[in-house]
Amino acid sequence: MMCAIPGLAFLVVVTGCRRAPEEQATPLVIRIAQQQNKLTNIFAKALSKNLEAHFPAKIRFEYSRSLVSNARSIEEGDVELAIIPANVAYIAYAQGWGDLPRPHKKLRGVAVLNTLPIHLIAREDSGIRKLSDIRGKRVSLGPVGSTTELSAEMILEGLRLSPKDISARSIPSDQAVEELRAGKLDAVFNRGTEQESAVEEVMEKLVSVPGVKFIPILRSETESIRSTHPFLRPISIPAGMYGNHSEVETIGVDSLMVCRDDLSEELVYWITRSLVESLAGLPRSTALDPEQVHATPIPLHAGAARYYRERELFH
């Protein structure tokens, strides 16, 4: 989520290449704007451990400002690798983002990692029973400039709604919780994942508000949304993840590993191969989808494309 919550980032410093020790490799940096994110920790550690066989690397933790800053850091050459949401990557590449309004043409895709769910939570007395019922309601789209806000706007677009069709507000998550509790809001969009403690804390606060419930985003609605925004995809909230509730259908946004276009083909080939192969045997929640891992909404780096071509040939 690209809210103002600072997050852990992973600095992968490449000390050299065993095949060409005389060449000094460019440091690799993975910035992740999430705190205590177990899933992205797994990605970073798996990549570092397996990449060492070809490019000695060391991971160091540091802070990044937001997912938006990660896209800009790639574009301006401050980092080499980053994990950002697919919708942010697409818009940044196509037209620019935030205070850097020019297209981020240095962004290149490496892999689709996982899908981050977007939850819609409404008061039971709001009259909202399904997604289309939010027309005319008081709804928080998420913090200003956040992945949640962007995804909520795309969800509305896919249903031919706009923020003008609802009483839309973009406010911080804690404020949204309090206004939902006080009856000043009818519903709240919020990004959720069991892998991130800060997000989980907000979700627990939301579902603890008396008289609220999850509103499903059905597969038929998701397909309509995906016709214009294919990087949003169906996903389910497992039963009991946030208290006593049944499984809920919803929609999510892909999370991507991206890199800078000027990294060598060989380096990105081994980054991609190390990442994909190291995660192949992990549980489903962390394993990459072999059918979707290459389906980034921005151009693949030549090294990543080479790996996927070879993988298709030999599998």
Instruction: Convert 94-135 into a string of H (helix), E (strand) and C (coil).
Output: HCCECCECCCCCCEEEEEEEEEEEEEEEEEHHHCCCCHHHHC
Task: Determine which of 16-20, 57-61, 128-132, 305-309 has the lowest per-residue pLDDT on average.
Answer: 16-20
Which residues have C-beta within 8 Å of that of residue 177, sequence separation ≥ 6?
188, 202, 205, 206, 209
Q: What DSSP string describes 65-101?
A: S-HHHHHHHHHTTS-SEEEEEHHHHHHHHHT-BTTB-
Q: Convert the pLDDT of each residue in 206-241 to its tens digit.
A: 888 889 999 999 999 999 999 989 889 999 988 888
**CA 105/CA 90 separation, integer angstroms:** 10
What is the predicted pLDDT for the residue at 18? 41
Are 65 and 39 in contact by the 8 Å Cβ rule? The answer is: no
What is the predicted pLDDT for the residue at 97? 83
What is the predicted pLDDT for the residue at 231? 85
What letter represents residue 83's amino acid?
I
Token couple for 65? 């400002």
Q: Convert the pLDDT of each residue in 27-77 to its tens digit.
A: 565 554 344 466 667 777 777 778 877 776 665 555 566 666 788 888 988
**CA 156/CA 163 separation, integer angstroms:** 7
**CA 82/CA 124 separation, integer angstroms:** 40
What is the predicted pLDDT for the residue at 281? 63
Evaluate if residue 7 carries a pLDDT over 80.
no
In the structure, what pLDDT confidence band is assigned to residue 251 with cuts at 50, 70 and 90? very high
What letter represents residue 232's amino acid?
L
In the structure, what pLDDT confidence band is assigned to residue 302 with cuts at 50, 70 and 90? very high
Evaluate if residue 305 carries a pLDDT over 90.
yes
What letter represents residue 29's amino acid?
V
Domains of the chain: 7-115+255-314 (3.40.190.10), 117-253 (3.40.190.10)
Most confident segment among 56-65, 189-198, 288-297: 288-297
What is the predicted pLDDT for the residue at 12? 47
H or E segment to which residue 209 belongs: none
% of the chain with per-residue pLDDT over 70: 77
Nearest to 279 by CA among 269, 290, 268: 290
What is the predicted pLDDT for the residue at 138? 96
What is the predicted pLDDT for the residue at 31? 52
**CA 80/CA 37 separation, integer angstroms:** 20
Alpha carbon 217 to chain centroid, angstroms: 18
